[in-house]
């Protein structure tokens, strides 16, 4: 075992920029003048801007596309012209047509909307300056976190405000279904891609060439969401690699000197889609994006969504990421325009980079006091439930605990935004998650309570990344059969592996994560590390207990999925049927009082645990059906041991 | 003279006296030659009676008498800033000699932030006491003496052959620092002398390092510091005769020590040329070209060295290797010439070479084309290569180099010329709208009979026009080529003022040319910044050769090192990074400079494990005792 020197940089020393509220100026001056002001962004190496139409013809004339068109035409026997036309149609469907007038329209309306919705939109201006610099040096890729539909409008709005080149944004095709709005978005720089186009060579080729052409020519910063879709849980999602692969390709092939990737962390005090998400995860399907839906949604305008913090992170040079990791000579022997599956070396490089970038997003997420309160309230709620009480928490107690937790967060390097006066609006004598209103059946009661718990959990989740590693260690200590380092490490490693679909855990970094966790717990005085053993100190008990119960709902979720698979899964369980079936199973057990956490109803949790079990080989997918494999039992057994040891169920 | 040289080990007084004598003797060249002519006569008898000429040879045994011991080229030719602060090129040898170059000072100050007040003069004299005493192999020495082959262990002679022209080598000399140097120098006069020397070396286990023109830029001449045996530098300069010319087959049989300018001049006297003109041709030797796979400026017409060579004679520890006939092409297994070409002195000494010759061209014409930007220029060169109509030479300089060339314009004598220049500039930048910070220039050289040259010229200019190129006159073209010969002198000037630099080259497929140029230049700038260089570096490139499938690209890199404690180390780190960048962008390890010891570390990646094994097994067979122990290449 390697317990190397713990040279981690003290997370408390992390330097972060200050924020400026950009809405303040909007409240004091004319929106119209703002929307019509002179907009002259600096471009990559001072290039003259090129027209969207020119971009299209560059793509259609590219070597790569020519090659693929030829290939498709040979394979399918269709005429090359025919395929070329199809490519052209795909491009037509995909391409953006950025127009300044539309941008100005958005600048005007969004100013109005934002001012009603939000108290403030805080941006780190130093980050903006860094971005401006980065844009002049190398092509730029913007990678914002994705929690809300708001995200990309907000991004463009900010960049317009600060006179920075407007990005072109990869958006899901579902937006295009919205009449008018789709076109508006297109004119403000969105380009649309189909959600899945696995086998379609031509589509992939047009798409990748389009993105690369924009990037290489420094047409505009390319923006996309690493997480692929909006996170419904406020936890970061496992990064999707497709687009990242595409944008890194020009560097790897030497077509540009470097690419700057800028992670952007957007933290909402309250997410617009909050209630929607909870219901979606409980089985109420997501409403299809439609214009009328958008209008119906206008009632949100009357609510208060607090403030938004947008943090533009340090630009990351792809060149420095790849330094010593990728041998670029691998492209020497095949013409670069012939598309090839990335080598294993590159796949693992892109994958690692993706994780690093998502972690960079997480690190600069601003946490509001609500995150801490939600964590404490949820834990309290569960304890109450076990005790069969419904008493909530006394405000003073909550405050005291929150202060304790705040200090812990700070020591772990969290980016806290702590107002001078906490809880200026005092909420009665006791605080607890709200009570459901009129209920009919116990099941409905359960579900409507679950909506509240899941919403609450989504606040808690915002802060999970801060103590994820210590929490894994705390659980591992509880689960391990002894205090021996090796034992604890083994159980840490098992838990970490199990949860790597659930949380952002960089592949292959078990030892580093373990060391980081030890370091943090030792630093805060919760743990003593000797030659052989890891010992929880007297004053560390509280910390360890808190950390363990943070992970408990997840552990129980995974356990219940295992139990379901062992006990109830039929021979013919398809992937589609999985979520409803497991939900039914869980509801049954929750109502019978055999399960503690309503949270396990989250379909997100269920899907993640299935993915983990598939990855670990406990379950197999054969012709779309889910089958237990032979190793399952040992896996399930292990998991149960963990859970059982964590607390006596 | 031989006895003079061998007496070098005696006391200082004696040494100085001898040195004076030798210098005097040097002025009276006749007697010096007369001495060795006796030995040469023996050799000639075996060679051929049609020894065409050995008059007017450039390279004396004591090279330091006419050449700098710590810089490039002839002692009488150098750049300096005169009392008025104007740059001037001294001597009489070159077109630029004796001229004032008014723009150079501003260019140096502007490009490097150099300052005439901040000087870094070189150590003026070689102090023999700083040179390691020679490790002599007594038995070898005794037997060598009996052969009558001239030799020396004079410190100056030894130091002169301990280096090529890499930056770190010259920098160390200027500081008066010497590492491991050869223990003695021998001057064989013919093939048989070489056979004798190599036999003796094998017998007495002495390390031999062949030395031709000494223009290596790959650390190939550096003595391995770990070498404990006596090191003999085998200077081929006295083997410099054209042994015969065969006008029926258009070949010439030449001793390998001849330097390029002598070979060309002597052949010209008979109405022929080889057309092989590497930039170093004033000093580099035929044997050196063969040993490094050299490339000449006019390869488009005449070919590179591998295309020019018909027959090679090389002396190895195993004996002499050569082919039995002079057929123009053979299918007899792998071509053994290709073990020799590029062997970089690790297998033996090339002594005689039969080369293709051509009648001298009837007509030569220079030319130049201005392009709005480098991209267009490269596209034009690619098209020219595609249509296989490249002139004898076609080179494309980037914008920085164009400006540099401009700075080297000598003072114009008439107001009319400067008025014309002004008019040209106005036409190109204002009327044609070329951005002076983006435009670039291609220089051209056409050769052949008049009619065809003019036709050819039109064809090339027509292609250039398609890529926005404007013909920019013969003068610019000619000056471009002339600069090739003086540019090496310029480095010495830079080194007087805190500026160090070097050039390096690669070959790359056409589709990569633009990418490699951009990325390597950017990498150099970034590395300089990262390594703490206080001033922005000069990072520039040019495309110097075109092939069917790719091009040869030259990079020039220089920076002002004021404020750095170990500038050479910084320089080496940056060059190393630049080479990594070249390789990562699909460029080759070298187009014609060779590998030497400087680029050895990349050989395995370049030719694969098996490839290295193949080369190694050849070395092991040919030279099992590592007599040719310069440790180049592998």
Pairing of strands A534-536, B319-321: unpaired
Q: Are residues A218 and A263 in the same domain?
A: yes
Q: Are residues A360 and A458 in the same domain?
A: no
Residue of A nearest to B514 (CA): A255
Q: Check CB contact of A48 with chain B, cutoff 8 Å.
A: no
Residue labelled with tokens 């010229």: B457
Q: Convert B487-550 into a string of H (helix), E (strand) and C (coil).
A: HHHHHHHHHHCCEEEEEEEEEEEHHHHHHHHHHHHHHHHHHHHHCCCCCCCEEEEEEEEECCCE
Transcribe B136-199 into DSSP letters. Answer: --HHHHHHHHHHT--EE--HHHHHHTS--S-HHHHHHHHTT---S--SEEE---SHHHHHHHHH
- To the question of whether residue B211 is assigned a binding role by annotation, the answer is yes
- Chain A residues within an 8 Å CB radius of B584: 254, 327-329
Which two three-digit tokens encode residue B426? 């106005």
Q: Are residues A408 and A359 in the same domain?
A: no
Give pLDDT, residue A285.
58
Q: Do A329 and B518 touch (CB under 8 A)?
A: no
Alpha helices in B345-433 (DSSP H): 374-386, 399-407, 415-426
More confident residue, B288 or A631: B288
Query: What's chain A's Rg over C-alpha atoms?
Result: 26
Question: Is residue A553 within a helix (H) or strand (E), and if so which, with residue range?
Answer: helix A540-567
- Chain A residues within an 8 Å CB radius of B435: none
Q: Do B511 and A254 touch (CB under 8 A)?
A: no
Which two three-digit tokens encode residue B521? 């230049």
- To the question of whether residue B396 is assigned a binding role by annotation, the answer is no
- Chain B residues within an 8 Å CB radius of A329: 583-584, 586, 605
Q: Convert A38-102 into a string of H (helix), E (strand) and C (coil).
A: CCCCECHHHCCCCCHHHHHHHHHCCHHHHHHHHHHHHHHCCCHHHHHHHHHHHHHHHCCCCCHHH
Residue A432 falls within a domain, yes or no? no
Q: From residue A286, how far is each of A290, A459, A598, B78, B93 by CA, in Å?
A: 12, 20, 21, 80, 85
| Cβ atoms of B615 and B595 closer than 8 Å | no
Q: Domain of A394?
A: 369-421+447-645
* Phi and psi based region of residue B596 (left: phi greater than 0; alpha: psi -120 to 50; beta: remaining): left
Q: Rounded mean pLDDT of chain B?
A: 90
Which two three-digit tokens encode residue A485? 């380092």
**CA gap A318, A259 in Å, rounded:** 5
Lowest mean pLDDT across A83-92, B49-58, B464-473: B49-58
Q: What is the mean pLDDT of residues B573-593?
A: 97
Transcribe A233-269 into DSSP letters. Answer: SSSPPPPP-HHHHHHHHHHHTTSSS--EEEEEEEEES
What three-state secondary structure class fits A397? helix
Q: From residue B211, how far is each of B7, B162, B219, B262 by CA, in Å?
A: 22, 9, 12, 17
Out of B94, B554, B556, B571, the active site residue is: B554
Residues B149-199 have pLDDT tens digits of 999 999 999 999 999 999 999 999 999 999 999 999 999 999 999 999 999
Residue A528 falls within a domain, yes or no? yes
CA distance B585 to chain A (A): 6
**CA gap A581, A572 in Å, rounded:** 12
Of A254, A258, A335, the CB nearest to B585: A254
| Cβ atoms of B368 and B474 closer than 8 Å | yes
Q: Check CB contact of B518 with chain A, cutoff 8 Å.
A: yes
- Chain A residues within an 8 Å CB radius of B523: 257
Residue labelled with tokens 């223009």: B215
**CA gap B118, B121 in Å, rounded:** 10
Q: From residue A173, how far is each of A179, A199, A530, B391 by CA, in Å?
A: 12, 17, 56, 55
Q: Are residues A295 and A248 in the same domain?
A: yes
Q: Which domains are present in chain B?
A: 63-112 (3.30.160.650), 128-237 (3.30.43.10), 242-359 (3.30.465.10), 361-480 (3.30.70.3450), 485-593 (3.30.300.330)
The fraction of chain B above a pLDDT of 70, given in percent, is: 90
- To the question of whether residue B349 is assigned a binding role by annotation, the answer is yes
Q: Do A257 and B512 touch (CB under 8 A)?
A: no
Question: Is residue A612 within a helix (H) or strand (E), and if so which, with residue range?
Answer: helix A603-616
Picking from A364, A379, A404, the residue at the C-terminal end of a domain is A364
Q: Are residues A323 and A174 in the same domain?
A: yes
| Cβ atoms of A433 and A452 closer than 8 Å | yes
pLDDT band at B81 (very low <50, low <70, confident <90, very high): very high
Q: Are residues A285 and A146 in the same domain?
A: yes
Give pLDDT, residue B621.
97
Q: Are residues A407 and A487 in the same domain?
A: yes
Q: Are residues A461 and A545 in the same domain?
A: yes
Q: Are residues A317 and A390 in the same domain?
A: no
Q: Is the pTM of this model over 0.95?
A: no
Q: Establish whether B554 is a catalytic residue.
A: yes
Classify residue A175 by burial, with Cβ atoms within 10 Å: 0-12, 13-18, 19+: middle
Residue of A nearest to B586 (CA): A332
Expressed in percent and rounded to 5, the helix, strand and coil fractions of chain B are 40, 20, 40
More confident residue, B488 or A624: B488
| Cβ atoms of B240 and B259 closer than 8 Å | yes
Torsion sign, CA atoms A511, A516, A522, A526: negative
Number of H helices, E strands in chain B: 21, 21
Nearest to B380 by CA among B486, B488, B514: B514
Q: What is the mean pLDDT of residues B349-374?
A: 96
Question: Is residue A142 within a helix (H) or strand (E), and if so which, with residue range?
Answer: strand A140-144
Q: Are residues A468 and A502 in the same domain?
A: yes
Question: Is residue B290 within a helix (H) or strand (E), and if so which, with residue range?
Answer: helix B286-292
Residue A202 falls within a domain, yes or no? yes
| Cβ atoms of A520 and A412 closer than 8 Å | yes
Residue A125 falls within a domain, yes or no? yes
Give pLDDT, residue A197.
76
Residue of A nearest to B510 (CA): A335
**CA gap A236, A466 in Å, rounded:** 12
Q: Check CB contact of B375 with chain A, cutoff 8 Å.
A: no
Residue A548 falls within a domain, yes or no? yes
**CA gap B409, B479 in Å, rounded:** 8
Expressed in percent and rounded to 5, the helix, strand and coil fractions of chain A are 55, 10, 35
Q: Do A335 and B584 touch (CB under 8 A)?
A: no
Pairing of strands B251-255, B242-246: antiparallel
Q: Are residues A465 and A356 in the same domain?
A: no
Which two three-digit tokens encode residue A480? 């391990």
Q: Do B586 and A257 touch (CB under 8 A)?
A: no
**CA gap B479, B501 in Å, rounded:** 22
Distance, C-alpha A406 to centroid of its chain:
23
Residue labelled with tokens 């047009």: A206
**CA gap A607, A626 in Å, rounded:** 12
Alpha helices in A97-149 (DSSP H): 100-117, 125-137
Residue A132 falls within a domain, yes or no? yes
Picking from A317, A342, A364, the residue at the C-terminal end of a domain is A364
Q: Do B518 and A331 touch (CB under 8 A)?
A: no
Q: Rounded mean pLDDT of chain A?
A: 85
Q: What is the mean pLDDT of residues B460-488?
A: 90
Cα angle B119, B121, B124; round to 5: 165
- Chain B residues within an 8 Å CB radius of A336: 511
Count of CB atoms within 10 A of residue B279's CB?
20
Residues A571-580 have pLDDT tens digits of 778 888 888 8
Residues B408-434 have pLDDT tens digits of 888 876 666 666 677 677 777 777 788
- pLDDT greater than 80 at residue B37: no
Beta strands in B293-423 (DSSP E): 309-316, 319-321, 349-356, 358-359, 363-371, 393-397
Residue A5 falls within a domain, yes or no? no
Q: Are residues A599 and A472 in the same domain?
A: yes
Contacts of B489 (CB under 8 A, 6+ apart): B71, B72, B73, B77, B78, B79, B89
Residues A614-636 have pLDDT tens digits of 888 878 888 778 777 655 555 55
Classify residue A105 by burial, with Cβ atoms within 10 Å: 0-12, 13-18, 19+: middle
- pLDDT greater than 60 at residue B1: no
Nearest to A606 by CA among A584, A634, A591, A628: A584
Distance, C-alpha A474 to centroid of its chain:
24
Q: Do A257 and B522 touch (CB under 8 A)?
A: yes
Q: Check CB contact of A332 with chain B, cutoff 8 Å.
A: yes
Residue A12 falls within a domain, yes or no? no
Residues in chain B: 634
Beta bridge partners of A643: none
The torsion of the CA quartet A468, A469, A472, A477, rounded to 10 degrees, works out to: -140
Give pLDDT, residue B29.
44
Query: What's chain B's Rg over C-alpha atoms?
Result: 24
Q: Check CB contact of B238 with chain A, cutoff 8 Å.
A: no
- pLDDT greater than 70 at residue B35: no
The fraction of chain A above a pLDDT of 70, given in percent, is: 86
Distance, C-alpha B412 to centroid of its chain:
30
B104-123 in b/e burial notation, b at 16+ Cβ within 10 A?
Answer: bbebbeebbbbeeeeebebe
**CA gap A60, A300 in Å, rounded:** 43
**CA gap A579, B207 in Å, rounded:** 79
- Given a cut of 70, the residues of chain A with pLDDT beneath it are 1-14, 46-49, 176-177, 284-301, 388-391, 420-440, 629-649
Q: Do B583 and A255 touch (CB under 8 A)?
A: no
Question: How many structural domains comprise chain A?
Answer: 2
């Amino acid at each position: 075992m390697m317990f190397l020197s713990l040279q981690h940089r003290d997370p408390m020393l992390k330097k972060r920029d200050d924020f400026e509220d950009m809405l303040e100026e909007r409240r004091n001056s004319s929106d119209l003048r703002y929307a019509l002001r002179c907009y002259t962004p600096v471009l990559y190496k001072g290039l003259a801007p090129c027209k969207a139409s020119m971009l299209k013809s560059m793509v259609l004339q590219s070597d790569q596309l020519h090659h693929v068109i030829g290939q498709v035409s040979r394979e399918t026997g269709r005429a090359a012209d025919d395929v070329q036309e199809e490519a052209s149609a795909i491009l037509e469907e995909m391409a953006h047509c950025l127009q300044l007038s539309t941008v100005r329209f958005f600048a005007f309306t969004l100013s109005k909307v934002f001012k009603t919705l939000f108290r403030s939109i805080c941006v780190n201006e130093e980050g903006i300056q860094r971005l401006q610099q980065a844009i002049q040096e190398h092509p730029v890729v913007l990678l914002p976190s994705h929690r809300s539909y708001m995200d990309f409008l907000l991004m463009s709005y900010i960049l317009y405000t600060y006179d920075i080149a407007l990005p072109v944004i990869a958006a899901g095709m579902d937006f295009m279904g919205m009449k008018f709005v789709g076109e508006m978005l297109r004119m403000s720089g969105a380009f649309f891609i189909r959600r899945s186009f696995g086998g379609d060579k031509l589509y992939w080729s047009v798409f990748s060439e389009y993105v690369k052409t924009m990037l290489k020519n420094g047409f505009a910063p390319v923006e996309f969401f690493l997480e692929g879709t909006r996170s419904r849980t406020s936890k970061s999602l496992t990064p999707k690699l497709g687009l990242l692969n595409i944008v890194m390709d020009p560097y790897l092939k030497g077509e540009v000197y470097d690419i700057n990737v800028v992670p952007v962390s957007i933290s909402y005090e309250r997410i617009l889609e909050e209630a929607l998400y909870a219901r979606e995860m409980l089985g109420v399907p997501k409403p299809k994006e439609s214009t009328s839906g958008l209008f119906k949604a206008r009632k949100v305008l009357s609510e208060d969504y607090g403030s938004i913090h947008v943090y533009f992170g340090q630009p990351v040079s792809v060149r420095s990421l790849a330094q010593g990791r990728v041998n670029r000579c691998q492209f020497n022997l095949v013409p670069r325009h012939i598309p090839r599956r990335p080598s294993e070396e590159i796949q693992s490089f892109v994958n690692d980079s993706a994780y690093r970038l998502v972690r960079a997003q997480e690190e600069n997420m601003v946490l509001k006091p609500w995150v801490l309160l939600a964590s404490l309230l949820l834990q309290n709620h569960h304890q109450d439930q076990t005790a069969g009480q419904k008493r909530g928490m006394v405000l003073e107690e909550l405050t005291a605990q929150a202060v304790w937790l705040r200090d812990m967060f700070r020591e772990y390097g969290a980016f806290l935004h702590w107002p001078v006066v906490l809880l200026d609006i005092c909420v009665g004598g006791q605080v607890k998650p709200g009570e459901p209103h009129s209920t009919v059946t116990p099941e409905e009661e359960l579900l409507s309570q679950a909506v509240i718990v899941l919403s609450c959990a989504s606040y808690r989740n915002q802060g999970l990344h801060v103590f994820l590693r210590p929490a894994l260690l705390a659980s591992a200590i509880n689960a391990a059969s002894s205090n021996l380092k090796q034992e604890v490490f083994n159980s840490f490693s098992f838990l970490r592996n199990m949860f790597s679909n659930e949380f952002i855990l960089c592949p292959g970094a078990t030892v580093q994560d373990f060391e980081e966790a030890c370091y943090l717990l030792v630093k805060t005085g919760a743990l003593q590390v000797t030659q052989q053993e890891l010992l929880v100190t007297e004053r560390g008990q509280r910390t360890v207990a808190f950390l363990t119960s943070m992970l408990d709902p997840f552990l129980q979720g995974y356990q219940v999925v295992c139990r379901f698979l062992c006990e109830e899964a039929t021979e013919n369980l398809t992937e589609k049927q999985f979520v409803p079936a497991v939900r039914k199973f869980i509801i049954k057990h929750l109502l019978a009082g055999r399960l503690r956490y309503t949270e396990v109803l989250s379909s997100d949790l269920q899907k993640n645990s299935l993915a983990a079990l598939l990855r670990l080989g406990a379950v197999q997918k054969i012709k779309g059906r889910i089958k237990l494999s032979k190793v399952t039992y040992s896996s399930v057994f292990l998991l149960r041991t963990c859970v059982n040891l964590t607390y006596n169920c | 003279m031989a006895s003079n040289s061998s007496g070098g080990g005696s006391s200082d007084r004696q040494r100085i006296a001898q040195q004076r004598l030798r210098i005097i003797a040097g002025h009276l060249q006749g007697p010096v030659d007369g001495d060795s002519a006796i030995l040469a006569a023996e050799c000639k008898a075996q060679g051929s009676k049609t020894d065409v000429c050995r008059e007017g040879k450039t390279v004396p045994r004591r090279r330091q008498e006419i050449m700098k011991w710590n810089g490039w080229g002839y002692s009488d030719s150098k750049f300096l800033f005169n009392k008025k602060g104007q740059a001037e090129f001294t001597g009489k040898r070159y077109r630029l000699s004796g001229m004032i170059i008014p723009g150079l000072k501003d260019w140096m100050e502007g490009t490097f932030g150099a300052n005439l007040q901040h000087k870094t003069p070189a150590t003026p004299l070689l102090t023999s006491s700083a040179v390691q005493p020679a490790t002599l192999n007594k038995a070898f020495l005794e037997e060598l003496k009996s052969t009558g082959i001239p030799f020396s262990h004079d410190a100056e002679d030894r130091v002169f052959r301990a280096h090529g022209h890499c930056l770190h080598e010259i920098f160390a000399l200027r500081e008066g620092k010497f590492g491991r140097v050869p223990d003695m120098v021998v001057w064989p006069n013919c093939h048989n002398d070489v056979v004798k020397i190599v036999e003796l070396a094998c017998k007495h286990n002495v390390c031999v390092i062949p030395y031709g023109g000494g223009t290596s830029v790959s650390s190939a001449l550096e003595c391995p510091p770990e070498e404990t045996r006596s090191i003999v530098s085998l200077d081929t300069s006295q083997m410099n005769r054209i042994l015969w010319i065969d006008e029926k087959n258009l070949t010439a049989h030449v001793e390998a020590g001849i330097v390029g300018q002598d070979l060309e001049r002597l052949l010209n006297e008979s109405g022929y040329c080889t057309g092989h003109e590497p930039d170093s041709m004033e000093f580099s030797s035929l044997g050196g070209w063969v040993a490094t796979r050299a490339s000449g400026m006019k390869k488009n017409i005449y070919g590179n060295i591998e295309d020019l060579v018909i027959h090679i004679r090389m002396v190895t520890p195993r004996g002499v290797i050569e082919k039995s006939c002079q057929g123009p092409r053979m299918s007899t297994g792998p071509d053994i010439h290709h073990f020799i070409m590029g062997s970089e002195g690790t297998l033996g000494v090339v002594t005689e070479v039969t080369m293709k010759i051509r009648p001298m061209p009837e007509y030569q014409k220079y030319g130049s084309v201005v392009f709005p930007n480098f991209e267009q220029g490269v596209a034009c060169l690619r098209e020219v290569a595609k249509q296989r109509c490249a002139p004898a030479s076609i080179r494309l300089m980037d914008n920085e180099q164009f400006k540099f060339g401009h700075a080297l314009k000598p003072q114009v004598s008439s107001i009319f010329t400067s008025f014309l220049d002004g008019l040209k500039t106005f036409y190109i930048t204002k009327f044609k709208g070329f951005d002076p910070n983006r435009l670039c220039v291609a220089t051209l050289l056409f050769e052949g009979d008049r009619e065809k040259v003019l036709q050819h010229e039109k064809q090339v200019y027509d292609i250039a026009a398609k890529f926005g190129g404007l013909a920019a006159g013969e003068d610019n073209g000619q000056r471009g080529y002339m600069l090739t010969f003086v540019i090496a002198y310029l480095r010495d000037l830079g080194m007087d003022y805190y500026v160090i630099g070097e050039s390096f080259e690669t070959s790359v497929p056409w589709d990569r040319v633009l990418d490699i140029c951009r990325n390597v230049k950017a990498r150099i700038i970034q590395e300089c910044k990262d390594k703490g260089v206080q001033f922005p570096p000069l990072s520039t490139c040019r495309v110097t050769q075109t092939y069917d499938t790719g091009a040869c690209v030259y990079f020039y890199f220089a920076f002002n090192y004021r404020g750095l404690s170990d500038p050479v180390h910084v320089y080496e780190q940056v060059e190393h990074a630049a080479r990594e960048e070249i390789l990562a962008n699909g460029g080759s390890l070298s187009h014609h400079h060779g590998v030497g010891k400087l680029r050895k570390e990349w050989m395995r990646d370049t030719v694969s494990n098996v490839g290295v094994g193949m080369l190694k097994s050849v070395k092991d067979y040919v030279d099992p005792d590592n007599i040719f122990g310069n440790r180049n290449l592998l």
